[in-house]
A and B are shown apart, each in its own frame.
Chain A
């Protein structure tokens, strides 16, 4: 008789284990679904941009350190105040470099600046295709290209 009771108890406990496992799974799927819905919203909000420059180092704080500059398809970079990306730094030329989005990727081209344009620490002498995550050094300002 006790054997019978034990058998039933065991069965209940075994089913309980499976049920709990599936309850956990339901918890996961609810969290996933909620995230997918909110992700749709953020996706729509961020799709307007093709990339941005986040400022890693900026001694004169113009552009501000830690800020992210949203990019259009064609950006001029320089000390000239009408530049798309204005950098207030003595080591930057008036029109220093052009940052353009062509086809599927970003390109940077030095515009005959005095102190040169650097990609990941290497001075460039021709237009260079950039990957997201590459670091631009212009004067004493360092910026990272991100999506």
Chain B
């Protein structure tokens, strides 16, 4: 382990030195109508943290993908500018007798996330721990989920939080990573069996069910707990990850078709069984039926997109507060995309989505270059989880699919989500590092 240069990463990170403080200054000027750029501590802290992450990756000798960190850092930069510009008392933490505002809390979580990322990117050399103990991981994850369901604290009608003293976190985010590890381990082991022989019923080839059963069993348990604890966005996300990974491992459309049919059936049952699902779907079909109560957030989000238009209201000039309250209560978490679209317009929203595309592209590239099935499946699963999560929440914001409460990766306010996203990037960096090093050994050997 010795230091390596990462020149491209540094070059792509440097514009953030201007971008983030500029965003802070613009929003402060717009809101106070003075030439005062306002407090810069959080902006400087953020830029310093990302440059520090770059230096740390160099020091731990990671040769992995150099576009991942700048991509994530730019998304986070837009996010922290938006969060800093909102009323700070909206969300935040009371910890150690000090009140941290929203942006400060987010910055602290960025610190935690980046540390986890560097640790994984530098220290994670042997994937045996993940691969061989996949059932242990799945069991631990499921237990955590059940514990949350039984003893967690209820926030907004869903029991997803566990509090340790002042710090709360959502285990659902951790389960996402654990589930991907489990499915990757399972599919890598059984891939040849799954892609090979199968029974046929008429024109349809039926998957070799006995081989799939352990995985489906664990997946169903996880889905049940998630659905019962009313975390619909996560349920949709898990389903998408599961089907994509199954398709990537086997290359068979019949699995995906079967999965989609099951999903449609499941959605139908959920719609008729759970009141909160019905509310979400009815809101999606027509939020204007009840625009001041049930459809309120969706309607306000649509107005926000409308006000934003092509070029936006201008950074710091949108998002009017009604008697000190934001029109959209869940703005910093679920509706951050609507906030970006209102202030930066369609072109700003496109920029954000382009960054996500870049991230997904590099993640899939990492999977393609991976030397073994487990690493490849892991990289696919992790990447798809980030991409799908963005898709589900952005589409929910613009009323393309029913709204479900999940975060926009790296942009939304929320510690557990941020940490999970950085863990994902850390694992991608580790996988990418291994394939680069392997390719170099091969180059020398021949």
Closest to A146 in B: B371
Does A70 sit at the interface, judged by CB under 8 A?
Answer: yes
Output the least CB separation between B434 and chain A (Å). Answer: 11
Output the least CB separation between B334 and chain A (Å). Answer: 23
Output the least CB separation between A83 and chain B (Å). Answer: 19
Closest to A104 in B: B195
Does A144 sit at the interface, judged by CB under 8 A?
Answer: yes
Are B192 and A131 in contact, with the CB atoms below 8 A?
A: yes
Are A21 and B348 in contact, with the CB atoms below 8 A?
A: yes
The number of chain B residues touching the other chain, given as a range, is 35 or more
Are B67 and A131 in contact, with the CB atoms below 8 A?
A: no
Select which of B35, B78, B315 is within 8 A of A6 by beta carbon. B35
Are B315 and A14 in contact, with the CB atoms below 8 A?
A: yes
**Considering the complex, which residues of chain A in the window 78-125 have a beta carbon less than 8 Å from any beta carbon of chain B?**
104-105
List chain A residues, Cβ under 8 A from B67: 28, 31-32
Output the least CB separation between B433 and chain A (Å). Answer: 15
Does B328 sit at the interface, judged by CB under 8 A?
Answer: no
Closest to B344 in A: A18
Output the least CB separation between B235 and chain A (Å). Answer: 30
Closest to B35 in A: A6
Are A6 and B15 in contact, with the CB atoms below 8 A?
A: no
Cα A21 to Cα B340 with chains together (Å):
13
Does B30 sit at the interface, judged by CB under 8 A?
Answer: yes
Known: A14-B314, A129-B192. A28 touches B344 (CB 8 A): no
Are A11 and B8 in contact, with the CB atoms below 8 A?
A: no
Secondary structure at chain B's binding surface: helix, strand, loop or mixed?
Answer: helix
Are B351 and A21 in contact, with the CB atoms below 8 A?
A: yes
Most buried by A among B196, B315, B438: B315
List chain B residues, Cβ under 8 A from A145: 372
Known: A10-B29, A21-B19. A70 touches B373 (CB 8 A): no
Output the least CB separation between A66 and chain B (Å). Answer: 7
Are A3 and B33 in contact, with the CB atoms below 8 A?
A: yes
Cα A113 to Cα B311 with chains together (Å):
73
Known: A18-B348, A70-B446, A146-B371. A131 touches B188 (CB 8 A): yes
List chain A residues, Cβ under 8 A from B8: 31
List chain B residues, Cβ under 8 A from A11: 314
Are B29 and A132 in contact, with the CB atoms below 8 A?
A: no
Closest to B343 in A: A14
Does B154 sit at the interface, judged by CB under 8 A?
Answer: no
List chain B residues, Cβ under 8 A from A144: 372
Cα A16 to Cα B344 with chains together (Å):
12
Are B372 and A20 in contact, with the CB atoms below 8 A?
A: no
Interface string of B369-393 (1 = CB under 8 A from A): 0011111100000000000000000
Are B33 and A17 in contact, with the CB atoms below 8 A?
A: no
List chain A residues, Cβ under 8 A from B16: 24
**Considering the complex, which residues of chain B in the window 296-322 have a beta carbon less than 8 Å from any beta carbon of chain A?**
311, 314-317
Known: A11-B314, A31-B12, A146-B371. A24 touches B22 (CB 8 A): no
Select which of A23, A130, A132 is within 8 A of B15 by beta carbon. A23
Output the least CB separation between B57 and chain A (Å). Answer: 16
16 contacting pairs across A/B (C-beta < 8 A) = A6-B35, A9-B35, A17-B23, A18-B344, A20-B18, A21-B19, A27-B15, A28-B355, A28-B358, A35-B365, A67-B445, A104-B195, A131-B192, A131-B373, A132-B373, A133-B374
Residues on A lying within 8 angstroms of B by beta carbon are 3, 6, 9-11, 13-14, 16-18, 20-25, 27-29, 31-32, 35, 39, 42, 52, 54, 66-68, 70, 104-105, 129-133, 144-147
Interface contacts beyond A18-B348, A31-B12, A54-B441: sample of 6 additional A-B pairs, CB < 8 Å, sorted by A: A14-B315, A14-B316, A54-B371, A68-B442, A104-B195, A144-B372
Residues on B lying within 8 angstroms of A by beta carbon are 8, 11-12, 15-16, 18-19, 22-23, 25-26, 29-30, 33-35, 66-67, 70-71, 74, 78, 188-189, 191-193, 195-196, 311, 314-317, 344, 347-348, 351, 354-355, 358, 361, 365, 371-376, 438-439, 441-442, 445-446
